[in-house]
């Protein structure tokens, strides 16, 4: 029986450091990368039609191109952040086109598990009372958005569980791949949970995994973290 990944064709949108890391992971897994582009609108429709696009472009580029992504490709995996204020418009474009979208603020499996833990801790401490939440996120100086999409997602989980909005601080220094710390400060103690990415490889591996998952999904809008947590439970 033919391996499902052997028929998978990938287009990388946004060929910066993350795009290059995605290309490396594709090569390691024997998955075809049929195009790399920083201008997805200019890509030949015939190339895009049978391909899954993995987008790690920029917030501005994704905002300009999401309708074109939905029109061109059979499925799209979006790791770009900084567009969540237009989330409903993006989702509507993909639904109208009948194109599968998998999106995430962070494609790391470790961050996915951390998010599930933060959600549980927030619900328990929200019921107990007496704790104040905060988030500190640290990234490299090239990151364009602050707070990070992951920090915003974690903040949403905390707010849902505790009913209060956590304080969020962003640090941009050096070449830090990504560190997210969530803390819960009480009068007598403190709980902290932290995830540190050693490199961009974990994000790329998760995005490629998502691309392979599109082959067995019905057309729709999927959040990667929800899919992974459901499969792990």
Helix (H) or strand (E) holding 70: helix 59-72
* Active-site residue flag, 72: no
Determine which one of 20, 74, 143, 152 is catalytic.
Answer: 143
Both tokens of 204, joined, read 């790329």
SS3 193: strand
* Active-site residue flag, 143: yes
Q: Distance from first CA to last CA of the chain, Å, rounded?
A: 29
**Overall residue count recorded for the chain in this entry:** 233
Report the alpha-carbon distance of residue 131 to residue 146 in Å, rounded. Answer: 25
Q: Across the beta sheet with 179-186, what order do the strands follow?
A: 167-172, 131-139, 179-186, 190-196
Which residues is 76 bridged to in the sheet?
53, 101
Report the alpha-carbon distance of residue 61 to residue 67 in Å, rounded. Answer: 11
Determine which one of 72, 139, 180, 195 is catalytic.
Answer: 139
How far is CA 123 from each of CA 23, 158, 227, 231, rounded to the nearest angstrom? 39, 8, 21, 22
SS3 77: strand
Report the alpha-carbon distance of residue 27 to residue 49 in Å, rounded. Answer: 21
Enzyme catalytic residues: 139, 143
């Amino acid at each position: 029986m033919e391996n499902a990944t052997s028929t998978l064709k990938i287009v990388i949108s946004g060929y910066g450091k993350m795009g290059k890391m995605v290309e490396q992971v594709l090569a390691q897994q024997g998955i075809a990368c049929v195009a790399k582009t920083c201008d997805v609108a200019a890509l030949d429709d015939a190339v895009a039609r049978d391909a899954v696009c993995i987008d790690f472009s920029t917030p501005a580029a994704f905002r300009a191109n999401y309708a074109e992504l939905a029109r061109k490709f059979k499925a799209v995996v979006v790791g770009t952040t900084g567009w969540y204020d237009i989330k409903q418009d993006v989702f509507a474009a993909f639904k109208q086109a009948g194109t599968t979208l998998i999106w995430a603020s962070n494609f790391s499996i470790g961050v996915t598990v951390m998010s599930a833990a933060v959600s549980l801790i927030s619900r328990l401490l929200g019921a107990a009372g007496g704790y104040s939440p905060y988030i500190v996120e640290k990234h490299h100086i090239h990151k364009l958005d602050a707070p990070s999409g992951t920090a915003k997602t974690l903040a949403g989980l905390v707010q849902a569980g505790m009913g209060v909005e956590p304080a969020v601080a962003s640090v941009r220094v050096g070449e830090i791949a990504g560190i997210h710390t969530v803390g819960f400060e009480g009068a007598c103690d403190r709980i902290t949970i932290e995830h540190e990415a050693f490199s961009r490889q974990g994000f790329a591996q998760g995005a490629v995994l998502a691309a392979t998952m599109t082959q067995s999904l019905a057309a729709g809008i999927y959040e990667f973290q929800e899919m992974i947590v459901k499969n792990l439970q």
